[in-house]
Amino acid sequence: MNDHPEKPKIDVEAIRQQVVSLLQGRGVTQATIAKQANVSTGALSKFIVGRYEGDNDAVARKIATWLVGFLKRDKLPATVSAGHRFVRTAASVKTTSRAEHAQVSADLVIVIGDPGSGKTTVLQHICRTGASVFLATMSPDTSGTVPMLEEVADALGIQPPNGGGARRLRSQIEKRLRGSAGLLIIDEAQHLCHKALETLRRIHDTAQVGMLLAGSPDLMQRIAQMPQASSRIGWRVTLRRPSRADVNALAAEFGIDGRQEQDFLHSIAQHPGGLRCVVKTIRLAMLAAEGDDAALDTGHLTAAWSERALVTSEDES
Protein backbone atom coordinates (compact mmCIF):
# COMPACT_ATOMS: atom_id res chain seq x y z
CA MET A 1 0.00 0.00 0.00
CA ASN A 2 1.35 3.39 -1.00
CA ASP A 3 1.01 5.80 1.97
CA HIS A 4 2.41 8.63 -0.12
CA PRO A 5 0.55 8.78 -3.43
CA GLU A 6 2.29 10.70 -6.17
CA LYS A 7 1.25 14.28 -6.64
CA PRO A 8 -0.49 15.03 -9.93
CA LYS A 9 1.85 16.32 -12.59
CA ILE A 10 2.11 20.06 -13.04
CA ASP A 11 2.75 21.90 -16.29
CA VAL A 12 5.95 23.72 -15.35
CA GLU A 13 6.19 25.54 -18.67
CA ALA A 14 2.61 26.83 -18.41
CA ILE A 15 3.28 28.20 -14.93
CA ARG A 16 6.47 29.81 -16.18
CA GLN A 17 4.61 31.56 -18.99
CA GLN A 18 1.94 32.83 -16.61
CA VAL A 19 4.62 34.39 -14.43
CA VAL A 20 6.30 35.99 -17.44
CA SER A 21 2.94 37.38 -18.58
CA LEU A 22 2.28 38.92 -15.18
CA LEU A 23 5.73 40.47 -15.05
CA GLN A 24 5.36 42.00 -18.49
CA GLY A 25 1.76 43.14 -18.47
CA ARG A 26 0.54 43.58 -14.91
CA GLY A 27 3.34 45.43 -13.16
CA VAL A 28 3.91 42.62 -10.68
CA THR A 29 7.55 42.37 -9.58
CA GLN A 30 9.69 39.28 -9.10
CA ALA A 31 10.31 40.35 -5.50
CA THR A 32 6.56 40.40 -4.81
CA ILE A 33 5.98 36.98 -6.33
CA ALA A 34 8.96 35.47 -4.52
CA LYS A 35 7.85 36.81 -1.16
CA GLN A 36 4.18 35.90 -1.49
CA ALA A 37 4.84 32.48 -3.04
CA ASN A 38 7.56 31.66 -0.49
CA VAL A 39 10.22 31.10 -3.18
CA SER A 40 13.72 32.56 -2.98
CA THR A 41 14.34 35.43 -5.39
CA GLY A 42 17.32 33.61 -6.88
CA ALA A 43 15.33 30.44 -7.54
CA LEU A 44 12.46 32.42 -9.07
CA SER A 45 14.79 34.40 -11.32
CA LYS A 46 16.38 31.24 -12.71
CA PHE A 47 13.02 29.43 -12.91
CA ILE A 48 11.57 32.17 -15.11
CA VAL A 49 14.32 31.80 -17.72
CA GLY A 50 14.38 28.00 -17.49
CA ARG A 51 17.79 27.75 -15.83
CA TYR A 52 16.85 26.59 -12.36
CA GLU A 53 18.76 23.42 -11.52
CA GLY A 54 16.72 22.55 -8.44
CA ASP A 55 13.25 21.00 -8.17
CA ASN A 56 11.31 22.90 -10.84
CA ASP A 57 8.11 21.03 -9.99
CA ALA A 58 8.28 22.20 -6.37
CA VAL A 59 8.80 25.83 -7.42
CA ALA A 60 6.00 25.59 -9.97
CA ARG A 61 3.59 24.19 -7.36
CA LYS A 62 4.29 27.06 -4.96
CA ILE A 63 3.77 29.58 -7.73
CA ALA A 64 0.59 27.82 -8.89
CA THR A 65 -0.84 28.05 -5.38
CA TRP A 66 0.07 31.75 -5.24
CA LEU A 67 -1.51 32.33 -8.67
CA VAL A 68 -4.88 31.01 -7.48
CA GLY A 69 -5.00 33.58 -4.70
CA PHE A 70 -3.63 36.37 -6.89
CA LEU A 71 -6.22 35.83 -9.61
CA LYS A 72 -9.04 35.75 -7.04
CA ARG A 73 -7.89 39.04 -5.56
CA ASP A 74 -7.49 40.49 -9.04
CA LYS A 75 -11.18 39.97 -9.78
CA LEU A 76 -12.32 41.88 -6.71
CA PRO A 77 -13.27 45.56 -6.86
CA ALA A 78 -10.30 47.76 -5.98
CA THR A 79 -12.03 49.08 -2.86
CA VAL A 80 -12.24 45.52 -1.52
CA SER A 81 -8.79 44.24 -2.46
CA ALA A 82 -6.70 47.38 -2.03
CA GLY A 83 -8.81 49.51 0.30
CA HIS A 84 -10.45 52.87 -0.19
CA ARG A 85 -8.93 56.31 -0.46
CA PHE A 86 -8.71 58.62 2.53
CA VAL A 87 -12.11 60.22 3.14
CA ARG A 88 -12.38 63.72 4.59
CA THR A 89 -14.83 63.70 7.46
CA ALA A 90 -15.65 66.28 10.10
CA ALA A 91 -13.52 64.31 12.57
CA SER A 92 -10.56 64.11 10.19
CA VAL A 93 -10.70 67.84 9.43
CA LYS A 94 -10.73 68.67 13.15
CA THR A 95 -7.87 66.28 13.93
CA THR A 96 -5.77 67.52 11.01
CA SER A 97 -6.26 71.13 12.07
CA ARG A 98 -5.16 70.39 15.64
CA ALA A 99 -2.16 68.40 14.40
CA GLU A 100 -1.08 71.35 12.28
CA HIS A 101 -1.42 73.61 15.33
CA ALA A 102 0.76 71.24 17.40
CA GLN A 103 3.47 71.19 14.73
CA VAL A 104 3.54 74.92 14.02
CA SER A 105 3.37 75.92 17.69
CA ALA A 106 5.48 73.07 19.12
CA ASP A 107 2.45 72.38 21.30
CA LEU A 108 1.07 69.25 22.94
CA VAL A 109 -2.31 68.04 21.61
CA ILE A 110 -4.43 65.14 22.85
CA VAL A 111 -6.83 63.26 20.55
CA ILE A 112 -9.36 61.03 22.29
CA GLY A 113 -11.56 58.63 20.38
CA ASP A 114 -13.25 55.27 20.81
CA PRO A 115 -12.16 52.34 18.60
CA GLY A 116 -13.51 52.83 15.08
CA SER A 117 -13.80 56.61 15.34
CA GLY A 118 -11.38 57.06 12.44
CA LYS A 119 -8.58 58.29 14.71
CA THR A 120 -5.82 55.99 13.47
CA THR A 121 -6.78 56.42 9.81
CA VAL A 122 -6.47 60.20 9.93
CA LEU A 123 -3.20 60.03 11.91
CA GLN A 124 -1.70 57.74 9.28
CA HIS A 125 -2.87 60.17 6.59
CA ILE A 126 -1.25 63.09 8.39
CA CYS A 127 2.00 61.14 8.63
CA ARG A 128 1.95 60.20 4.92
CA THR A 129 1.20 63.70 3.68
CA GLY A 130 3.02 65.90 6.19
CA ALA A 131 6.64 67.01 6.31
CA SER A 132 8.72 65.94 9.32
CA VAL A 133 5.79 64.03 10.78
CA PHE A 134 6.63 60.82 12.65
CA LEU A 135 4.13 58.22 13.84
CA ALA A 136 4.82 55.63 16.54
CA THR A 137 2.04 53.23 17.51
CA MET A 138 2.04 51.75 20.99
CA SER A 139 0.73 48.41 22.20
CA PRO A 140 0.60 46.45 25.47
CA ASP A 141 4.17 45.23 24.95
CA THR A 142 5.49 48.81 24.62
CA SER A 143 3.90 50.11 27.82
CA GLY A 144 7.23 50.53 29.59
CA THR A 145 9.65 53.42 29.09
CA VAL A 146 12.39 51.58 27.18
CA PRO A 147 10.06 49.73 24.76
CA MET A 148 8.22 53.02 24.15
CA LEU A 149 11.48 54.82 23.40
CA GLU A 150 12.54 52.01 21.06
CA GLU A 151 9.26 52.33 19.17
CA VAL A 152 9.75 56.10 18.85
CA ALA A 153 13.36 55.65 17.78
CA ASP A 154 12.26 53.23 15.06
CA ALA A 155 9.72 55.77 13.77
CA LEU A 156 12.50 58.38 13.65
CA GLY A 157 14.94 56.05 11.91
CA ILE A 158 17.28 55.99 14.90
CA GLN A 159 19.39 52.92 15.59
CA PRO A 160 19.12 52.28 19.35
CA PRO A 161 22.55 52.55 21.05
CA ASN A 162 24.26 49.57 22.64
CA GLY A 163 24.02 50.24 26.35
CA GLY A 164 23.02 53.40 28.09
CA GLY A 165 19.41 52.41 28.67
CA ALA A 166 16.48 54.78 28.58
CA ARG A 167 18.47 57.94 29.30
CA ARG A 168 20.81 57.55 26.32
CA LEU A 169 18.01 56.57 23.96
CA ARG A 170 15.86 59.50 25.09
CA SER A 171 18.81 61.83 24.52
CA GLN A 172 19.20 60.58 20.94
CA ILE A 173 15.50 61.09 20.27
CA GLU A 174 15.61 64.62 21.65
CA LYS A 175 18.66 65.40 19.52
CA ARG A 176 16.92 64.09 16.40
CA LEU A 177 13.76 66.13 17.03
CA ARG A 178 15.33 69.36 18.25
CA GLY A 179 15.18 72.01 15.52
CA SER A 180 13.23 69.72 13.16
CA ALA A 181 10.02 71.79 13.31
CA GLY A 182 8.42 68.37 13.27
CA LEU A 183 5.47 66.57 14.81
CA LEU A 184 5.75 63.37 16.82
CA ILE A 185 2.48 61.40 16.88
CA ILE A 186 2.01 58.68 19.49
CA ASP A 187 -1.03 56.53 18.69
CA GLU A 188 -2.65 54.08 21.14
CA ALA A 189 -0.96 56.04 23.94
CA GLN A 190 -3.43 54.65 26.51
CA HIS A 191 -1.16 51.60 26.70
CA LEU A 192 1.71 53.62 28.18
CA CYS A 193 2.56 53.58 31.86
CA HIS A 194 2.86 56.73 33.96
CA LYS A 195 6.65 56.84 33.63
CA ALA A 196 6.56 56.41 29.84
CA LEU A 197 4.07 59.28 29.49
CA GLU A 198 6.24 61.49 31.70
CA THR A 199 9.22 60.64 29.48
CA LEU A 200 7.28 61.80 26.42
CA ARG A 201 6.44 65.00 28.25
CA ARG A 202 10.17 65.47 28.90
CA ILE A 203 10.96 64.90 25.21
CA HIS A 204 8.34 67.48 24.23
CA ASP A 205 9.81 70.03 26.64
CA THR A 206 13.46 69.43 25.82
CA ALA A 207 13.19 69.05 22.04
CA GLN A 208 10.60 71.83 21.80
CA VAL A 209 8.74 69.86 19.17
CA GLY A 210 5.07 69.39 18.38
CA MET A 211 3.58 66.27 19.92
CA LEU A 212 0.19 64.60 19.49
CA LEU A 213 -0.90 61.86 21.88
CA ALA A 214 -3.87 59.81 20.68
CA GLY A 215 -5.79 57.08 22.39
CA SER A 216 -8.97 55.89 24.04
CA PRO A 217 -10.75 57.80 26.84
CA ASP A 218 -8.48 55.99 29.33
CA LEU A 219 -5.61 58.16 28.10
CA MET A 220 -7.26 61.41 29.18
CA GLN A 221 -8.09 59.98 32.59
CA ARG A 222 -4.46 58.99 33.07
CA ILE A 223 -3.04 62.33 31.97
CA ALA A 224 -5.51 64.19 34.19
CA GLN A 225 -3.65 62.64 37.13
CA MET A 226 -0.30 63.99 35.86
CA PRO A 227 -0.14 67.75 36.63
CA GLN A 228 3.03 68.45 34.63
CA ALA A 229 1.70 66.73 31.50
CA SER A 230 -1.89 67.99 31.73
CA SER A 231 -0.77 71.60 32.19
CA ARG A 232 1.06 71.44 28.85
CA ILE A 233 -1.94 70.37 26.78
CA GLY A 234 -2.69 73.10 24.26
CA TRP A 235 -5.72 71.42 22.73
CA ARG A 236 -7.86 68.39 23.31
CA VAL A 237 -9.85 66.78 20.51
CA THR A 238 -12.65 64.37 21.36
CA LEU A 239 -13.96 62.32 18.45
CA ARG A 240 -17.65 61.54 18.86
CA ARG A 241 -19.74 58.91 17.15
CA PRO A 242 -19.69 59.25 13.35
CA SER A 243 -22.19 61.70 11.92
CA ARG A 244 -24.57 60.89 9.08
CA ALA A 245 -22.52 63.13 6.77
CA ASP A 246 -19.33 61.25 7.63
CA VAL A 247 -20.94 57.86 7.00
CA ASN A 248 -22.42 59.05 3.69
CA ALA A 249 -19.02 60.35 2.57
CA LEU A 250 -17.43 56.99 3.36
CA ALA A 251 -20.24 55.07 1.65
CA ALA A 252 -19.87 57.23 -1.47
CA GLU A 253 -16.23 56.14 -1.72
CA PHE A 254 -17.58 52.61 -2.28
CA GLY A 255 -20.19 53.81 -4.77
CA ILE A 256 -23.07 53.53 -2.31
CA ASP A 257 -25.50 56.45 -2.59
CA GLY A 258 -28.93 54.91 -1.92
CA ARG A 259 -30.84 56.39 1.03
CA GLN A 260 -31.83 53.01 2.49
CA GLU A 261 -28.26 51.72 2.29
CA GLN A 262 -26.88 54.91 3.84
CA ASP A 263 -29.43 54.79 6.66
CA PHE A 264 -28.47 51.20 7.45
CA LEU A 265 -24.75 52.02 7.45
CA HIS A 266 -25.35 54.99 9.75
CA SER A 267 -27.09 52.68 12.22
CA ILE A 268 -24.07 50.35 12.12
CA ALA A 269 -21.72 53.27 12.76
CA GLN A 270 -23.37 53.90 16.13
CA HIS A 271 -22.22 50.50 17.41
CA PRO A 272 -18.82 50.00 19.08
CA GLY A 273 -16.27 50.00 16.26
CA GLY A 274 -17.97 52.86 14.40
CA LEU A 275 -16.56 53.51 10.95
CA ARG A 276 -14.42 50.38 11.08
CA CYS A 277 -17.62 48.31 11.30
CA VAL A 278 -19.02 50.23 8.34
CA VAL A 279 -16.00 49.54 6.14
CA LYS A 280 -15.79 45.84 7.02
CA THR A 281 -19.52 45.37 6.47
CA ILE A 282 -19.39 47.10 3.08
CA ARG A 283 -16.46 44.97 1.92
CA LEU A 284 -18.19 41.74 2.95
CA ALA A 285 -21.41 42.88 1.25
CA MET A 286 -19.49 43.75 -1.93
CA LEU A 287 -18.09 40.23 -2.05
CA ALA A 288 -21.60 38.80 -1.72
CA ALA A 289 -22.96 41.12 -4.41
CA GLU A 290 -20.08 40.15 -6.69
CA GLY A 291 -20.96 36.49 -6.17
CA ASP A 292 -24.60 37.18 -6.98
CA ASP A 293 -23.58 39.22 -10.02
CA ALA A 294 -25.89 41.94 -8.73
CA ALA A 295 -25.74 45.52 -7.55
CA LEU A 296 -25.09 45.91 -3.85
CA ASP A 297 -28.27 46.63 -1.89
CA THR A 298 -29.56 46.74 1.68
CA GLY A 299 -30.07 42.97 1.64
CA HIS A 300 -26.35 42.39 1.06
CA LEU A 301 -25.44 44.88 3.79
CA THR A 302 -27.90 43.35 6.27
CA ALA A 303 -26.60 39.84 5.61
CA ALA A 304 -22.99 41.02 5.90
CA TRP A 305 -23.65 42.79 9.19
CA SER A 306 -25.39 39.67 10.52
CA GLU A 307 -22.36 37.56 9.53
CA ARG A 308 -19.97 40.00 11.21
CA ALA A 309 -21.89 40.89 14.37
CA LEU A 310 -20.56 39.32 17.55
CA VAL A 311 -24.06 39.28 18.99
CA THR A 312 -26.96 38.38 16.71
CA SER A 313 -30.70 38.57 17.29
CA GLU A 314 -30.71 34.77 17.77
CA ASP A 315 -28.06 35.03 20.51
CA GLU A 316 -30.10 37.69 22.30
CA SER A 317 -33.35 35.70 22.23
Is the CB of residue 49 less than 8 Å from the CB of residue 20? no
Distance CA 186, CA 55 (A): 48
Q: Which domain holds residue 66?
A: 12-75
Distance CA 47, CA 58 (A): 11
Query: How crowded is the C-beta side of 304, counted as CA atoms within 13 Å?
Result: 24
Confidence label for 181 from pLDDT (cuts 50, 70 and 90): very high
Backbone angles phi, psi at 178, to 5 degrees: -60, 125
CB 180 within 8 A of CB 132: yes
Q: Is residue 22 part of a domain?
A: yes
293: left (phi over 0), alpha (psi -120 to 50) or beta: left
Give me the pLDDT at residue 240, please. Answer: 81
Q: Render pLDDT for 204-223 as a digit per residue (tens, 0 to 9).
A: 999 999 999 999 999 988 88
Confidence band (pLDDT; 50, 70, 90) for 312? very low
pTM, 2 dp: 0.71
**Within a domain: 218:** yes
Q: Would you say residue 156 has pLDDT above 60?
A: yes
- In this prediction, residue 135 carries a pLDDT of 97
What single-letter amino acid sits at 211? M
Same domain flag for 211 and 128: yes
Assign residue 182 the CATH number of its domain.
3.40.50.300
pLDDT (tens digit per residue) in 274-306 = 888 898 899 888 888 877 778 889 999 999 898
Residue 222 lies in a domain: yes
**Is residue 7 a part of any domain in this protein?**
no
Across all residues in the chain, what is the average pLDDT?
Answer: 86
Do the domain assignments include residue 293? Answer: yes
Boundary-marking domain end, from 210, 239, 268: 239
Domain-located, residue 179: yes
Whether 26 shows a pLDDT value over 90: the answer reads no
Least confident piece of the model among 28-37, 66-75, 101-110, 287-296: 66-75
- 167 located within any domain: yes
Q: Is residue 5 part of a domain?
A: no
> pLDDT tens across 162-173, in order?
766 889 999 999
Q: Are residues 216 and 113 in the same domain?
A: yes
| The predicted structure's pLDDT at residue 314 | 42
User: Residue 4: what residue type?
Assistant: H
pLDDT band with cut points at 50, 70 and 90 for residue 138: very high
Instruction: Give the separation between CA 255 and CA 265, rounded to whole angstroms.
Output: 13
pLDDT, position 114: 81
State the average pLDDT over residues 155-166: 82
Angle between helices 244-253 and 274-292 (to 10 degrees): 40
Domain shared by 96 and 233, yes or no: yes
User: Does residue 28 sit in the same domain as residue 118?
Assistant: no
Number of domains in the chain: 3
Q: Tell me, what's the pLDDT at 23?
A: 84
pLDDT 10s digits, 77-115: 555 545 566 788 888 888 999 999 999 999 999 999 887
| Shared domain check, 293 and 198 | no
Distance from C-alpha of 186 to C-alpha of 162, rounded to nearest angstrom: 24
For residue 187, the 8-state DSSP code is: E
Task: Say if residue 110 is in the same domain as residue 201.
Answer: yes
The sign one gets for the Cα dihedral 270, 273, 274, 278 is negative
What are the two backbone dihedrals, phi and then psi, of residue 238, each rounded to the nearest 5 degrees?
A: -115, 120
The rounded percent of the chain whose pLDDT value lies above 70 is 90
Residue 213 shares a structural domain with residue 263: no
> What type of residue sits at position 45?
S
